[in-house]
Amino acid sequence: MEIYTEIQTFKISKVQKETLQKLKSQKVNVSKFIRDAVKEKIEREKLVKKDNRRKYTIDDLINSMK
């Protein structure tokens, strides 16, 4: 299990707060819900770019000179 050590505060609208309170009353872990939503958004929107550049080897250099 991950240990969360960082704290982030943010402002939400009244409607959003009421929605989160409803989730909490239905025994949903709101913190986990928010973390999962942020993770999903990052993956879906590809906000964190992955370095997909190919690493060339000596064999690639030799083959390019043929």
Residue 64, pLDDT above cutoff 90: no
- Asked if 23 and 30 touch (Cβ cutoff 8 Å), the reply is yes
41's CB contacts (< 8 A; 6+ apart) are 47
Gap between the Cα atoms of 14 and 45, Å rounded: 26
Tens digit of each residue's pLDDT (9 = 90 or more) over 6-62: 999 999 999 999 999 999 999 999 999 999 999 898 888 877 677 778 888 888 888
Query: What residue spans of 1-66 are helical by DSSP H?
Result: 14-25, 30-45, 58-65
Q: How confident is the model at residue 66 (pLDDT cuts 50, 70, 90)?
A: confident
